């Protein structure tokens, strides 16, 4: 496909054909013309991923919920030019068209996002550009005129007496990437904190779910029942720290990796010391805990295992796969592809609590391929883009090496082998004589036995291993709730109460 570009020359691409309820028909837009407003031209980063979100619903911004999204990596788009999208070229990808039932005369809303933040692989995050919302009546002669005229501002953390925010420049990550990288966290202080300002309170680091940010503390304050309890005097007197998982390829999982850099080292040697200095925590008190659900559950467990002396206990809810022989329903070391199981059926990636598959691995990866400027899941910011960057080696091009082919799902077992150092069950198996004694009394894991991502399977095999350990025999508390789904029983209150119970026994 040859497309010639130069300054002030319009380039275009062909919209996909979509299937309606009756027959296949062409997307009924003549063209879309995208421009960047003058005040944002200095902020524009060439070669980033452009999305146009289209929806029939008007209760939310299209960028947060759309039936159709069209994407293009705008390699040759200059901020001073217009990008024109019409029917003459095929330089695009699209999702949702095969399920769209639109017809002429329907009203649709649309919005564009330009995903350009090189330090964060997500779409709706600070530093990315976007347009306002406009609407169109479907017609083969419709023209969309889109002005990218807004920039997503930095996160704002609630201004409250009992909230502190911490931001430190990471010298470790700055050296790794060759550009400034900052570490962030939000701290929720216990209700008696100012009555005892020099006291060393127990401290819990709350690892967020996939791609969570430290502004999760804002949602804590939006829950009146939770905040009333927190300030009632009945809540455990624990410092609760909301971590941030920002990374250039997606969630960093807070561990050292070849692609994301020394994230675990930066957390434990740069961010946490600064936090604990500000809140007067004394490490000799041995009350430094971890908690999290889903991705945060893996992080909470992984950090406890990788830093067994640094942390003093972990509460892990519905962790991501802790055993890569059961990576969902996939054995990355032996299976040939992640798209089909050994019986030749499409490999499911998600299900209901009744066991009904809702989303295949093939569909999942297709969506992540779409989200990345590389047209594969490398920089998707999604679950598998993050896994790949955290667990895998760096490739010769400086980007993560793909553990499986983005279009066929075929596994590269040489790369998969290198994931072993993050396979938590294998880490424990290989190092139990050293880790076992250090982890006694420090591990609590819960998951639903109908986890929607099949993560309970890996947790079952982890439990099987731990139940057979000797010298010492593991005292990890691992429980499964029948018919419960992914993170169904996660509760900040429950975790904090269990931490208080543990502290009371010291």
Q: Rounded to the nearest 5°, which phi and psi values hold at 230? A: -60, -40
Q: How many helices (H) and strands (E) does the chain have?
A: 12, 23
The pLDDT of 94-122, averaged and rounded, is 85
Residue that finishes a domain, picked among 120, 151, 182: 151
Contact (Cβ atoms closer than 8 angstroms) between residue 100 and residue 66: no
Contact (Cβ atoms closer than 8 angstroms) between residue 456 and residue 444: no
- 3-state DSSP call for residue 106? coil
Give the C-alpha separation, 132 to 135, whole Å. 10
pLDDT in the model for residue 68: 86
Strand partners, 205: 241, 290
Who's near 369: CB < 8 A, 6+ residues apart? 93, 375, 376, 377, 380, 406, 407
pLDDT in the model for residue 9: 29
The pLDDT of 409-416, averaged and rounded, is 98
8: in domain: no
- What CATH number does residue 87 fall under? 2.60.40
The pLDDT of 217-230, averaged and rounded, is 96
Q: For residue 238, what are the domain limits?
A: 163-323+423-504
Q: Do residue 373 and residue 414 come from a single domain?
A: yes
Contact (Cβ atoms closer than 8 angstroms) between residue 247 and residue 386: yes
Q: Do residue 430 and residue 301 come from a single domain?
A: yes
Token representation of residue 215: 């502004």
Residue that finishes a domain, picked among 364, 390, 420: 420
Q: How many domains does the chain have?
A: 3
DSSP 60: S
Give the C-alpha separation, 446 to 491, whole Å. 12
Least confident of 92-106, 125-139, 436-450: 92-106
Task: Give the tens place of pLDDT for each residue, 46-56.
Answer: 999 999 999 98
Token representation of residue 290: 């971890």
Percent of the chain with pLDDT over 90: 82
Give the C-alpha separation, 56 to 299, whole Å. 38
Q: Do residue 308 and residue 373 come from a single domain?
A: no
The pLDDT of 24-47, averaged and rounded, is 81
Query: How many other CB atoms are there within 10 angstroms of residue 468's CB atom?
Result: 9
Give the C-alpha separation, 443 to 194, whole Å. 31
Peptide bond into 472 cis (omega under 30): yes
pLDDT in the model for residue 197: 83
Task: Give the tens place of pLDDT for each residue, 422-448.
Answer: 999 999 999 999 999 999 999 999 999
Q: What angle do CA 202, 293, 416 make, to 5 degrees?
A: 120
Percent of the chain with pLDDT over 70: 92
Residue that finishes a domain, picked among 360, 388, 420: 420
- What CATH number does residue 432 fall under? 3.40.50.1820
Who's near 116: CB < 8 A, 6+ residues apart? 44, 45, 48, 49, 127, 128, 129
416 pLDDT higher than 70: yes
394 pLDDT higher than 70: yes
Mean residue pLDDT across the chain: 91
Contact (Cβ atoms closer than 8 angstroms) between residue 332 and residue 432: no
pLDDT in the model for residue 198: 87
pLDDT in the model for residue 100: 66
6 pLDDT higher than 90: no
Q: What is the pTM of this model?
A: 0.92
The pLDDT of 308-314, averaged and rounded, is 98
Look at the block and give the residue holding tokens 């910011």.
Answer: 381
pLDDT in the model for residue 67: 87
140 pLDDT higher than 90: no
12 pLDDT higher than 80: no
pLDDT in the model for residue 102: 67
pLDDT in the model for residue 28: 46
CA atoms within 13 A on the CB side of 149: 8
- More confident site: 351 or 105: 351
Q: What angle do CA 123, 188, 160 make, to 5 degrees?
A: 85
Task: Give the tens place of pLDDT for each residue, 201-221.
Answer: 999 999 999 999 999 999 999
229 pLDDT higher than 70: yes
- 3-state DSSP call for residue 501? helix
Residue 199: pLDDT band with limits 50, 70, 90: very high
Q: Do residue 398 and residue 284 come from a single domain?
A: no
Integer CA distances (angstroms), 209 to 45, 147, 213, 246, in order: 29, 33, 9, 11
Q: Which of 328, 346, 343, 320 is nearest to 409 (CA)?
A: 346
């Amino acid at each position: 496909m040859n497309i010639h570009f130069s300054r002030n020359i319009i380039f275009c691409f062909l919209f996909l054909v979509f299937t309606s309820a009756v027959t296949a028909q062409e997307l009924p837009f003549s063209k879309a013309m995208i421009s960047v407003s003058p005040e944002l031209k200095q902020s524009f980063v060439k070669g980033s991923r452009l999305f146009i979100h289209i929806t029939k619903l008007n209760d939310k911004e299209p960028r947060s919920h759309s039936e159709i999204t069209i994407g293009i990596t705008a390699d040759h788009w200059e901020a001073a030019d217009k990008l024109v999208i019409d029917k003459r070229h095929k330089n695009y990808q699209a999702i949702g068209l095969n399920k769209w039932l639109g017809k002429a005369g329907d009203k649709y809303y649309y919005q564009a996002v330009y995903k350009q933040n090189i330090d964060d692989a997500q779409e709706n995050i600070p530093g990315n550009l976007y347009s306002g919302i406009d609407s169109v009546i479907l017609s083969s002669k419709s023209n969309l005129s889109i002005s990218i005229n807004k920039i997503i501002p930095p996160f704002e953390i609630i201004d409250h007496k009992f909230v502190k925010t911490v931001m430190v420049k990471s010298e470790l990550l700055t050296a790794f990437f060759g550009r400034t990288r900052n570490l962030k966290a939000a701290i929720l202080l216990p209700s008696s904190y100012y009555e005892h300002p020099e006291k060393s309170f127990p401290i819990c680091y709350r690892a967020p779910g996939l791609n969570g940010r430290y502004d999760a503390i804002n949602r804590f304050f939006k829950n009146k029942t939770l905040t009333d309890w927190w300030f009632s005097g009945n809540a455990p007197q624990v410092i609760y720290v909301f971590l941030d998982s920002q990374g250039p390829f997606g969630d960093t999982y807070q561990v050292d990796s070849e692609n994301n850099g020394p994230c675990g080292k930066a957390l434990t040697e740069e961010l946490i010391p600064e936090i604990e200095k500000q809140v007067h925590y004394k490490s000799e008190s041995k009350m430094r805990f971890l908690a999290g659900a889903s991705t945060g559950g893996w992080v909470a467990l992984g950090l406890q295992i990788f830093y067994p002396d640094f942390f003093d206990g972990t509460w892990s809810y519905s962790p991501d796969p802790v055993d890569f022989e059961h990576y969902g329903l996939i054995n990355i070391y032996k299976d040939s592809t992640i798209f089909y199981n050994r019986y030749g059926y499409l490999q499911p990636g998600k299900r209901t609590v009744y066991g009904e598959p809702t989303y295949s691995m093939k569909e999942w990866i297709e969506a992540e391929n779409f989200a990345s400027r590389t047209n594969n899941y490398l920089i998707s910011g999604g679950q598998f883009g993050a896994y790949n960057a955290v667990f895998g080696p760096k490739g010769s091009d400086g980007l993560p090496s793909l553990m499986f082919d983005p279009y066929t799902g075929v596994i590269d077992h040489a790369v998969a082998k290198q994931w072993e150092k993050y396979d938590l069950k294998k880490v424990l198996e290989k190092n139990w004589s050293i880790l076992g004694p250090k982890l006694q009394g420090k591990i609590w894991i819960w998951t639903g036995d109908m986890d929607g991502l099949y993560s309970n399977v890996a947790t079952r095999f982890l439990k099987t291993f731990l139940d057979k350990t000797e010298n010492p025999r593991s005292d990890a508390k691992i429980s499964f709730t029948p018919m419960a789904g992914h993170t169904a029983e996660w509760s900040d209150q429950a975790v904090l109460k269990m931490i208080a119970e543990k502290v009371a026994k010291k």
